[in-house]
Amino acid sequence: MLDVITGFAIIFAVIATGWLLSRRGIIPKGETRLMFNRVAFYACTPALIFSSVVGSDPQHFFSPVVLVVALATTLTAGLYVAASNLAFRRDVPTTTMGAAASSYFNSVNIGLPVSIYVLGEATHVIPTLLMQMAVFTPIILAFLGSDQDSVAHGSRRRAVTLSVRNALISPVVVASFAGLAVALMGWRVPEPVLEPIRILGGASIPMILMSFGASLTVGGVLSSVPDRPAVITSTALKVAGMPVIAWLCCLVLGIDGDFMYAAVILSALPTAQNVYNYAATYRRGEIIARDTVFLTTFLSLPAMLAVAFLFGR
């Protein structure tokens, strides 16, 4: 568990560095800060995804844990959308970011240490990462871009088509499918090719976290009153709702033992920084994504400790 705590400490340290550099004026406020997010979105994160997926075992892509996480993600996002429509209706891209923040968990810089040091292996993390990138990311990006395309082209039907197409050819999605193809074919990427990709991918999380920390100087967490109900709802669903939903899915599907524990503990992970990166890149739902990432990163550790205690681990 010490290594998991170390993973959280690293995240907070890099966020604090971004905040401090922004306070000192080294990272400018406004559009200039978003260069971190754009570089991460178009170059570093795709490299991280490809290098992570390409070496994974294809047999693990069909683990029952992946099925449970996919169901829990869908149901949790659906609950957020229903709550939003009833209590704090927002536009489609903003609602999309709230739904993503409530259900899209951090499968890399927290998911990997949790998997290795809590579950004892990284078997379940890479397949869930691929599922997130190949299935849910295109949906998120399609809804994020739908309103912008609608304004530009004047046709709702064409706008949806263009947003879906743009989502499918986005770098993070292309990298996911490329890594999957290489893994399924059993190809070995030469080290002179793979190592530069790994180095580029290593810059992804620090860049996103630095920009995240810098964004906190613009407004504090929960300081935006109009966004507060959405943030609280997405945080509660992510920290408490999604693990419970994953547990219920396991009961319905007859999944127990280590598979159940893995599905529930992974579902308790905090919101992924990628959610904030998508929001910052598209400039939609940025505050909801930022605040939920921040709050769930603090609250998910006690949530995971509670899950481990309840499972007797």
Give the Cα separation of 233 and 222 in Å (integer).
Answer: 12
Q: How many CB atoms lie within 10 A of CB 312?
A: 6
Can you give the residue range of the structural domain that contains 39? Answer: 2-303
In a domain, 213, yes or no: yes
Over its length of 313 residues, how does the chain's per-residue pLDDT go in tens digits?
565 677 677 778 888 999 899 988 888 877 777 788 888 888 988 898 888 888 777 777 778 999 999 999 999 999 999 999 999 999 999 999 999 999 999 876 566 556 655 665 556 777 887 788 878 888 898 888 766 544 444 555 665 566 667 777 778 788 888 988 888 888 889 999 999 999 998 888 888 888 878 877 877 788 888 999 999 999 999 999 999 999 999 999 999 988 999 899 999 988 988 898 889 888 889 999 999 998 998 888 888 888 888 888 7
Give the Cα separation of 231 and 119 in Å (integer).
Answer: 30
In a domain, 313, yes or no: no
Give the Cα separation of 187 and 57 in Å (integer).
Answer: 12
Give the Cα separation of 237 and 303 in Å (integer).
Answer: 12
Instruction: Give the total number of structural domains in the chain.
Output: 1
In a domain, 98, yes or no: yes
Give the Cα separation of 108 and 52 in Å (integer).
Answer: 9
In a domain, 122, yes or no: yes
pTM as predicted: 0.79
In a domain, 155, yes or no: yes
Give the Cα separation of 103 and 232 in Å (integer).
Answer: 13
In a domain, 166, yes or no: yes
In a domain, 203, yes or no: yes
Q: Do residues 224 and 94 lie in contact, with contact meaning Cβ atoms separated by under 8 Å?
A: no
In a domain, 38, yes or no: yes
Residue 137: CATH number of its domain: 1.20.1530.20
Using alpha carbons, select from 16, 6, 5, 10 the residue that is nearest to residue 213: 16
DSSP, collapsed to helix, strand or coil, labels residue 247 as helix
- At 112 the pLDDT is 59
Phi-psi region of 220 (alpha: psi -120 to 50; beta: other; left: phi over 0): beta
CB environment 6-38: b (16+ within 10 A), e (fewer): ebbebbeebbebbbebbeeeebeeeeebbebbe
Using alpha carbons, select from 212, 205, 206, 203 the residue that is nearest to residue 19: 212
